[in-house]
């Protein structure tokens, strides 16, 4: 098997403030394979966006390693090479486009930044086609003349113009309306099929992650607490946190549901609880949970991992899920 | 007993363009109605028109009658002057906005903002009573009263939304309008706020108009739902009925475009195009250009009519016994 498109090993990103250190990402190992759609889900503040930014060197890791194609990403040249190969789009298409540039300039910008030779116009045209925007109609427009969905398409076109192998999408559709988001998702799925583009999806929308992703990592307070195929993780969650997250998803259905929302809020990343970091909110905690920090353990289906002592046969009480 | 709120034939125009076009809405005491639809369909405009908070340049016509419990004469909102509305807002109808951070004053402690709302409506209130009431309000919305001493930036997103709800409850209204109250929050916080809204309805007999583009949120919180498209209600009925058997193609497509865990992982075809510009509405049914089932009849404007018990839809072809498979296939082709 070829090396994964990107990989992080024991990655930590800590932000130091005057009084404390926030452990935004705290010992994460993860593989993003070529051509796959990998999802990273969790609540606001769990570290999923910081992880994405660390992949592209937009924040410096405190410890651990980021690798691309099997080689560690070290130094400016490697980083420049990486950013040509892996691009990123963000949540808010209203803030990411320069309001004073025309679409043609915005989409061509990465080519200029990376010093790419050759016919820029042709590549811009192709990127516009890929996202389903008519070049003739849109290249001369300014961002304010576009709808939210069109802006996000332009952002994707600018990310595609370098023909990358991977695209990191940080909540790409959470600000868009239902029908527009379906259109954007269709564009992304087609790109993966046609160009074999790998997607890294950062989202707090579990239904979306479930339907879109091949594999899924669930983050809680800077750690991956569950990992496996998207179907396994969402339909048969093995970590009590994932179970609570899935239970909290509102479902448009005719059936009334009884919900038990998780109480409390995500603790501050400056005061990570001892032992399992989820234990203060966990409905199934038992004796060693406040002192033992659980590693990722095999749980549930093949290849599924959960960082929970319930899955440690030596420790767990009989009532294993 | 007559309805708490009756909106009849509400029209709103801006520079001659129709933003709302004949909206009717009835709400019983303690009932929760959800307004669904995409940006620009008129959900928020309906709420603002009811509060008479539309900015200059908007014209509204139609009748809006409120009958709060304990008030003898019905309140004819449409006839109220600005001074008259100030008595209605907060006291009878309150509004919780989407961006909780932006609606709280950053330089005032949150409890003093609630106190201000109470003093405005109840002149003779004593400081002691007001303090006790704020404590009660905080407990009601699930916050420790000590948090009242904080400033907005010292609270989390979920806590701020709870403060906004406490503020909305300060003058004991009988109707609360919540405009996308959980959109900026993630799933866990969203579930907590929705549970709070449910509890408030039970405890206080509060009626609720919940505005959201998220059909899942509405399905869990509301008794009835009204789906809006291009300034009109295109379908309305009990939440369960509408979700089990939608009768307007727009509702059907909206429901299809949401992945539901445990259902099909295949993403349904997107609804092609976007909603029409209010200045350039299509002839006949406003959904016609995007509708996979459109036919010649659709050039005539369909009226909102009862098509199943308690369920109304503005579609010539309703009630739909079943959605035609051939048309579905054609639609997928058109969208892809």
* pLDDT at B326 > cutoff 50: no
* pLDDT at A4 > cutoff 50: yes
Of A189, A206, A261, the CB nearest to B261: A206
- On whether any CB of chain B is under 8 Å from the CB of A112, the answer is no
User: A69-73, A264-268, A269-273, A289-293: which has the minimum mean pLDDT?
Assistant: A264-268
What is the pLDDT confidence band of residue B321, given thresholds at 50, 70 and 90?
confident
How far is the C-alpha of B32 from the C-alpha of B198, rounded, in Å? 9
**CB–CB of B187/A234 below 8 Å?**
no
User: A46-50, A67-71, A254-258, B4-8: which has the minimum mean pLDDT?
Assistant: A254-258
What's the pLDDT at A221?
Answer: 94
* pLDDT at B215 > cutoff 60: yes
Contact B267 A179 (CB under 8 A): no
Please report which helix (H) or strand (E) contains residue B326, including its range.
helix B325-335
Contact A178 B261 (CB under 8 A): no
**CB–CB of A35/A64 below 8 Å?**
no
Q: How far is B119 from chain A (nearest CA, A)?
A: 32
Average pLDDT of every residue of chain B? 89
Q: Select the residue from A147, A149, A178, A192 to test the B interface by mutation, using most B Cβ atoms within 10 A.
A: A178
Residues 182-201 of chain A with CB under 8 A from chain B are 182-183, 185-186, 189
Higher pLDDT, A173 or A203: A203
Q: Which residue of chain B comes nearest to A177, CA vs CA?
A: B38
What's the pLDDT at B259?
Answer: 85
* pLDDT at A259 > cutoff 90: no
Q: Select the residue from A182, A210, A240, A249 to test the B interface by mutation, using most B Cβ atoms within 10 A.
A: A182
Q: Select the residue from B188, B196, B218, B336 to test the A interface by mutation, using most A Cβ atoms within 10 A.
A: B188
Q: Which residue of chain B comes nearest to A252, CA vs CA?
A: B216
Percent of the residues in chain B that have a pLDDT greater than 70, as a whole number: 95
- For chain B, the maximum distance between any two Cα atoms, rounded to a whole number of angstroms, is 69
Q: How many CB pairs below 8 A link A and B? A: 131
Contact B186 A234 (CB under 8 A): no
Interface ipTM above 0.90: no
pTM recorded for the entire structure: 0.87
Helix (H, G, I), strand (E, B) or coil at B329: helix
Contact A211 B267 (CB under 8 A): yes
User: A105-109, A260-264, A301-305: which has the minimum mean pLDDT?
Assistant: A260-264
Kindly give, in sequence order, each residue whose CB lies less than 8 Å from that of residue A44, ignoring residues fewer than 6 positions away: A204, A266, B157, B185, B186
Q: Select the residue from A194, A250, A254, A280 to test the B interface by mutation, using most B Cβ atoms within 10 A.
A: A250
SS3 letters across chain A: CCCCCEEEEEEEEEEECCCCEEEEEEEEEEEECCCCEEEEECCCCCCHHHHHHHHCCCCCCCEEEEEECCEECCHHHHHHHHHHHEEEECCCCCCCCCCCCCHHHHHHHHHHHCCCCCCHHHHHHHHHHHCCCCHHHHCCCCHHHCCHHHHHHHHHHHHHCCCCCEEEEECCCCCCCHHHHHHHHHHHHHHHHHHCCEEEEEECCHHHHHHHCCEEEEEECCEEEEEEEHHHHHHCCCCHHHHHHHHHCCCCCCCCCCCCCCCCCCCCCCCCCCCCCCHHHCCCCCHHHHCCCCCCEECCCCCCEECCHHHCCCCCCCCCC
Of B39, B159, B261, the CB nearest to A249: B261
What is the pLDDT confidence band of residue A256, given thresholds at 50, 70 and 90?
low
Give one DSSP letter per residue of B263-312, joined into a string: S--SPPPPPPS-PPPTTSPPSSSTTGGG-TT--GGGGSPPP-EEEETTEE
What's the pLDDT at B336?
Answer: 33
Q: A178-195 and A148-160 helices cross at what angle (nearest 10)?
A: 20
From chain A, pick out residues whose CB is under 8 angstroms from the CB of B331.
none
Average pLDDT of every residue of chain A? 90
What is the pLDDT confidence band of residue A257, given thresholds at 50, 70 and 90?
low
What's the pLDDT at B331?
Answer: 46
User: A121-130, B16-25, B91-100, B157-166: which has the minimum mean pLDDT?
Assistant: B91-100
pLDDT, one tens digit per residue, over B98-135 is 765 678 888 999 999 999 888 888 776 688 888 999 99
Tokens for A284, please give them: 């199934």
Q: Phi and psi at residue A48, in whole multiples of 5°?
A: -70, -40
Q: How far is B301 from chain A (nearest CA, A)?
A: 23
pLDDT, one tens digit per residue, over B149-205 is 999 889 888 888 899 999 999 989 999 999 988 877 788 888 888 989 999 999 999
From chain A, pick out residues whose CB is under 8 angstroms from the CB of B271.
179, 182
**CB–CB of B317/B327 below 8 Å?**
no
Instruction: Answer positive or negative: Cα dihedral of A298, A301, A303, A305.
Output: negative
Mean pLDDT of A278-294: 91
* pLDDT at B329 > cutoff 70: no
pLDDT, one tens digit per residue, over B251-307 is 999 888 888 888 888 887 788 888 898 889 999 999 999 999 999 999 999 999 999
Pairing of strands B32-36, B224-229: parallel
């Amino acid at each position: 098997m070829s090396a994964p498109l990107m990989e992080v090993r024991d990655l930590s990103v800590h932000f130091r403030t005057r009084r404390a250190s926030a452990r935004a990402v705290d010992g994460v190992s993860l593989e993003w394979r070529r051509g796959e759609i990998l999802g990273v889900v969790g609540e606001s503040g769990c570290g999923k966006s910081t992880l994405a930014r660390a992949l592209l060197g937009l924040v410096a890791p405190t410890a651990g390693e980021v690798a691309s194609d099997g080689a560690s990403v070290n130094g400016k040249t490697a980083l420049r090479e990486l950013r040509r190969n892996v691009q990123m789009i963000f949540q808010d298409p209203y803030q990411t486009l320069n309001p004073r540039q025309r679409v043609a300039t915005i989409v061509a910008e990465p080519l200029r930044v990376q010093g790419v030779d050759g016919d820029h116009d042709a590549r811009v045209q192709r990127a516009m086609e890929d996202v389903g925007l008519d070049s003739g109609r849109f290249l001369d427009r300014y961002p304010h003349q576009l709808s939210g969905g069109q802006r996000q398409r332009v952002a994707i076109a600018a990310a595609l113009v370098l023909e990358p192998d991977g695209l990191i999408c940080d909540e790409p559709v959470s600000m868009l309306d239902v029908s527009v988001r379906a259109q954007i998702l269709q564009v992304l799925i087609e790109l993966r099929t046609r160009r074999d583009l790998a997607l890294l999806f950062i989202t707090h929308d579990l239904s979306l992650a479930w339907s879109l992703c091949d594999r899924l990592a669930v983050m809680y307070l800077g750690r991956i607490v569950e990992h496996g195929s998207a179907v396994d993780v969402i339909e048969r969650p093995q970590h009590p946190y994932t179970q609570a997250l899935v239970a909290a998803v509102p479902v448009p259905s005719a059936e009334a549901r009884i919900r038990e929302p998780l109480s409390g809020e995500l603790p501050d990343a400056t005061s990570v609880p001892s032992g399992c970091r989820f234990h203060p909110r966990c409905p199934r905690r038992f004796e060693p949970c406040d002192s033992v920090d659980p590693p990722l353990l095999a749980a549930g289906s093949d290849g599924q991992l959960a960082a929970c002592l319930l899955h440690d046969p030596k420790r767990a009480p009989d009532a294993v899920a | 007993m007559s309805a708490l709120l009756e909106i009849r034939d509400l029209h709103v125009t801006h520079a001659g363009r129709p933003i709302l076009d004949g909206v009717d809405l009835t709400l019983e005491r303690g009932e929760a109605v959800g307004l669904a639809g995409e940006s620009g369909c008129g959900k928020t405009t309906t709420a603002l028109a009811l509060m008479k908070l539309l900015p200059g340049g908007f014209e509204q016509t139609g009748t809006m009658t409120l009958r709060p419990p304990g008030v003898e004469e019905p309140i004819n909102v449409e006839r109220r002057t600005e001074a008259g509305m100030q008595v209605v807002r907060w006291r009878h109808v309150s509004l919780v906005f989407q961006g909780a951070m932006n609606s709280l004053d950053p330089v005032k402690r949150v409890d003093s903002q609630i106190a201000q709302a109470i003093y405005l409506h109840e002149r003779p209130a004593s400081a002691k009573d007001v303090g006790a009431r704020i404590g009660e309000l905080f407990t009601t919305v699930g916050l420790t009263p000590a948090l009242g001493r904080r400033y907005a930036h010292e609270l989390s997103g979920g806590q701020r939304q709870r403060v906004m709800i406490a503020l909305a409850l300060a003058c004991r209204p009988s109707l609360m309008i919540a405009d996308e109250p959980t959109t900026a929050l993630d799933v866990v916080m969203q579930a907590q706020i929705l549970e709070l809204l449910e509890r408030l309805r039970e405890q206080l007999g509060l009626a609720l108009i919940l505005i959201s583009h998220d059909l899942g949120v509405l399905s869990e919180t509301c008794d009835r739902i009204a789906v809006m498209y291009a300034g009109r209600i295109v379908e309305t009925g009990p939440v369960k009925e509408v979700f089990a058997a939608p009768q307007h193609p727009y509702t059907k497509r909206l429901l299809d475009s949401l992945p539901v865990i445990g259902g099909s992982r295949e993403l349904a075809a997107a609804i092609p195009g976007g909603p029409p510009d209010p200045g350039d509405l299509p002839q006949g049914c406003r959904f016609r250009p995007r509708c996979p089932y459109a036919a010649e009849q659709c050039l005539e404007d369909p009226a909102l009519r009862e098509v199943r018990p308690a369920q109304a839809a503005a579609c010539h072809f309703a009630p739909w016994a079943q959605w035609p498979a051939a048309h579905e296939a054609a639609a997928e082709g058109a969208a892809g």
